Amino acid sequence: MNQLNEQLRTLRLGHAAKGLEQQREQLSTYAELTFEERLSLLLESEVLGRSRARIERLKRQAKLRIDASPNQLIYKEDRGLKRIQLSELLTGSYLLKHQNILITGPTGAGKTYVACALATQACEQTYSVRYY
């Protein structure tokens, strides 16, 4: 069985190898599945793992100033953030239209946080981002 793990890693299927180890550890859970179902689970594990790794790589390469999350935005009236406008921006439609965003406001209003939150969301949608 170690040979199988080595073959998976040689083929750069590390997430599938981890999935196989999980199947071995929880044999009672996977014992009733057919070969095709177990193979499908391994391949799904590989696809999801690669997707997560790509998103993490994009976030690292973006060199964002702060780790901002779009779902932690605070929509206080004095900040001037409009929930409808930001939710539209978070969909990423402006990226498909090749449009830019200009964020303005007084000092301490949260411009950097909003910019980093939008960049994080773009990375989640597998767009390449760079913070300057």
Return the pLDDT at 1.
66
In this prediction the pTM is: 0.78
> Residue 78 has what pLDDT?
76
Confidence at residue 132, expressed as pLDDT on a 0 to 100 scale: 87
Residue 77: what pLDDT?
Answer: 78
Q: Nearest to residue 127, comparing CAs of 90, 84, 83, 79?
A: 90
Q: What pLDDT tens digit does each residue of the chain (132 aa) get?
A: 688 888 998 999 999 999 999 988 888 888 888 999 999 999 999 999 999 999 999 999 999 999 999 988 888 777 778 889 899 999 999 999 999 989 888 888 889 999 999 999 999 999 999 998
* Per-residue pLDDT, 113: 92
| Domain coordinates in residue numbering, the chain | 3-62, 70-125
| pLDDT at site 106 | 85
Closest listed residue to residue 81, CA positions, set 116, 105, 107, 108:
105
